Chains A and B, each alone.
Chain A
């Protein structure tokens, strides 16, 4: 599903965010990407969503080398990836329905279909009935769930999340992670970047640990505390 092959990424300001990173994530797998802030977690996700291009090495997503993807095909490529952010990135002046419908609208989905699928996605995150609310009328946890509904509404085969629980209390975090696991259960590949080791341990999924832009061996979850400091 996803293969990083000796990937390095150097930003224009000279900072080397990733050095010679290689790993694979299989189709239908749920993987935690963890490490200190600045270890390169976000850069890995950006390379997957083609928000950045690797300086060296290659990134394969859906079996395609992203280096070979022409810029006019980037939009169609991104439609097959759901992205969840720590700050949820909802449009504040649009109601929940419009926010969730955006990935369907850009993909020319018929209106009837949009209506059906937005409701289904909101139902999955437990927010059915809040379609007409504006994002600021919702709690932080609810906003994050709207962000998740937006990420999954077009049923992408791949879901990536960057610190999705960063602003949430432990109970809400757990709830969000369970949600991700449910998507994995229906066949979605899920990659979650987080530094919340407590959660990582609880879920017992495979973990990829990044440190200073490099992968630290395939560590089993229970050995993590020695590698990653909890903030």
Chain B
């Protein structure tokens, strides 16, 4: 078989499959709709995880260890401590906020200025703001920093402002796991839908298959149009799923922007990236091909010509 003849035959099988799908538009559309919903759900979940990660990405830098020194520690000692803390490899920066500066900030921002004026002496301690290096941002690394500072006799309290970030990352991890499970289950669902659709089509074209085998059509020749039908269902369903996700992103864009503005952020909801779309279309095509192949292998074998 020359390449061009082979290409022509594939083209013919493809066009034949397209034609058959076009001849029964309603049932084709309903099948595509089922497939697209099954594909759109994991795609939307993936988008949710990506967006959540991006929206909070800046806060990951905000992991911050506050070391409150005892009130009787003099400023010189505090400066010395800040310097030695800054020499640790897992520490990116140390900022010393002296008791006086702390009081001033508090007076400015808290609105309790008059009440504070009544105080005889500054009740605030010196505080070291320690910013860990990013790679040291893991739970264990933070814990070891906390223990390091906690062991100093001059330290009153070590506070790690990262708990909510960790909780959020844990939630994302749950979502990600959920996404994988949903994708796997719905993928099996897509296989079943396409497999069943192909089974029905094989039954409907039984006479044609018998005659084709009788005049010498090989199994792969008989199977080919069904594989194309499966791939077209998968691809069509994936395109429709892309459309559904794109519409959802458009509809959510404005309220999300408003929400972000209320939190003082200029965050804009991201649509599916080129990679996301590639994965979606690839998954659709692969599932369509596989579902059709399984179904065709099962059902075509049983059809043999009779005279």
Contact = CB atoms under 8 A, between A and B. Distances in A.
A63 B219 CA distance: 25
Q: Chain B, interface size: which category? A: 20 to 34
The SS class assigned to the B binding surface is helix
Given A85-B307, A106-B221, A75 B213 contact: yes
Interface in A3-54: 42, 45-46, 49, 51
Interface stretch (B5-13, B25-33, B238-246, B282-290): B5-13
A110 B5 contact: yes
A103 B221 CA distance: 12
Interface in A50-104: 51, 72, 75-80, 83, 85, 89, 91, 102-103
B8 A76 contact: no
Contact of B212 (A80, A102, A111, A154): A102
B220 to A, nearest CB: 9
Interface in B279-307: 304-307
Interface in B1-47: 1, 5-6, 8-9, 12
B19 to A, nearest CB: 11
Contact of A91 (B12, B207, B221): B207
A107 interface: yes
Contacts of A89: 207, 210-211, 214
Nearest to B23: A93
Given A89-B211, A91-B208, A91-B211, A106 B305 contact: no
B84 interface: no
A108 B1 contact: yes
A150 interface: yes
Nearest to A79: B216
A110 B3 CA distance: 11
Interface string B198-222: 0000000001101111111111010
A10 B302 CA distance: 20
Nearest to A86: B307
Contact of B217 (A91, A106, A109): A106
A42 B307 contact: yes
B229 to A, nearest CB: 16
A75 to B, nearest CB: 4
Interface residues of A, number: 28
B297 to A, nearest CB: 14
Contact of A106 (B8, B210, B216, B307): B216
Contacts of B6: 108
Contacts of B207: 89, 91
Given A45-B307, A85-B307, A106 B218 contact: yes
Contact of A110 (B8, B215, B305): B8
A93 to B, nearest CB: 8
A103 B305 contact: no
B216 A107 contact: yes
B215 A79 contact: yes
Contact of B306 (A51, A78, A80, A102): A51
B212 A106 contact: yes
Interface in B145-199: none
Given A91-B207, A102-B211, A110-B5, A75 B217 contact: yes
A196 interface: no
B208 A103 contact: no
A79 B217 CA distance: 8
Contacts of B213: 75, 78
Nearest to B301: A71
A79 B306 CA distance: 16
B218 A111 contact: no
Contacts of B218: 72, 75-76, 106
B227 to A, nearest CB: 16
A51 B214 CA distance: 8
A49 B214 contact: yes
Contact of A103 (B5, B8, B216): B216
Given A76-B216, A91-B207, A91-B208, A51 B5 contact: no
Interface of B: 1, 5-6, 8-9, 12, 207-208, 210-219, 221, 304-307
11 contacts: A49-B307, A51-B306, A75-B216, A75-B218, A78-B213, A89-B207, A91-B207, A105-B12, A106-B215, A106-B221, A107-B216
Q: Which 10 A-B pairs have the closest CB atoms?
A: A79-B216, A106-B217, A75-B218, A78-B216, A103-B215, A108-B1, A46-B307, A75-B216, A106-B221, A51-B307
Given A78-B216, A79-B216, A83-B215, 9 more contacts: A75-B218, A78-B214, A89-B211, A102-B212, A106-B217, A107-B216, A110-B8, A111-B8, A162-B307
